[in-house]
Amino acid sequence: MKNGVNAPRLLGYGIGGGLVVTGLAGLVVDARLTDPLGWALWFGGLVVAHDGVLVPFVLLTGVAVGRLREPAPVRAGLIVAAVLSFLALPMVTGFGRRADNPSLLPLDYGRNLLVVLGLIALVTAFATIAVRLRAGRRRG
């Protein structure tokens, strides 16, 4: 759109547009299974929750962390911890457990997540100490 039109560009738009139309048509034609209204609520809901809640929250946290003396290790530790908590959350809630099938979600996910977060906190603490020592030596 910006850099003029050439053959590879048109081909890309053709393929991409074709796939988009295929996807939309499939969602509509298969409506009995895809439930377009429910689908649209999830689609839009996730965008709103992400752009309107999650990112502002992350930005505010980022500002707060930026005030620390050595923000870099804390920032990295928090990013990794947040991602793994997000991953584990559905399992920690145990929402998917079923009485007839104990092989499904068989672990103690709350405990496992705490172990993982503990490891991350430990590494973050060591990194912070290391960075401070180095900075101290440079100054001294």
Partner 1 sequence: MARGSVMRERIETLARGVPGRFGSALHSERVAARLGLWLGISFTAAFVTGLFSHFTQHPPGRLAWPSRPVGLYRVTQGIHVIGGLATIPLLFAKLWTVYPKLWQWPPFRSFSHAVERALVLVLVGASLFQLITGLLNVSYVYLWPFSFPAAHYWTAYLLYGALVIHVVNEWAKVRRWLWTREEVEPRETVTARRRFLGTVAAASGLTVLFTVGETYAPLSGLALLAPRDPRVGPQGLPVNRSAAAAGVTAMIHDPGYRLTVTGAVGTPLSLTYADLLRLPQHTVRLPIACVEGWSAEAEWSGVRLRDLAAMAGVAPDAVLTVESLERGGGYRSSEVRAPHWGDPLTLLALRVGGEPLAPDHGFPVRLIAPNRPGALQTKWVSKVVAA
**Binding test (CB under 8 A) with partner 1, winner from 58, 121, 129, 130:** 58
Quick check: 109 binds partner 1 (CB under 8 A)? Answer: yes
- The Cα–Cα gap between 83 and 79 comes to 6
- The Cα–Cα gap between 47 and 13 comes to 24
- Closer to partner 1 by CB, 51 or 125: give it: 51
Q: What separation in angstroms does the CA of 83 have from each of 18, 63, 76, 107, 129?
A: 34, 19, 11, 19, 24
Cα 44 vs. chain centroid, distance in angstroms?
Answer: 17
String of contacts with partner 1 for each residue 34-53, x by CB under 8 A? xx--xx--xxx-xx--xx--
Quick check: 127 binds partner 1 (CB under 8 A)? Answer: no
- The Cα–Cα gap between 81 and 93 comes to 17
Quick check: 24 binds partner 1 (CB under 8 A)? Answer: yes
- Nearest Cα residue to 106 out of 115, 93, 114, 97: 97
As measured in angstroms, the least distance from the Cβ of 136 to partner 1 is: 19
Interface with partner 1 (CB under 8 A): 1-3, 8-9, 12-13, 15-24, 26-27, 30, 33-35, 38-39, 42-44, 46-47, 50-51, 54-55, 58-59, 62, 72, 75-76, 79-80, 83-84, 86-88, 90-91, 93, 95-98, 100-107, 109, 112-113, 115-116
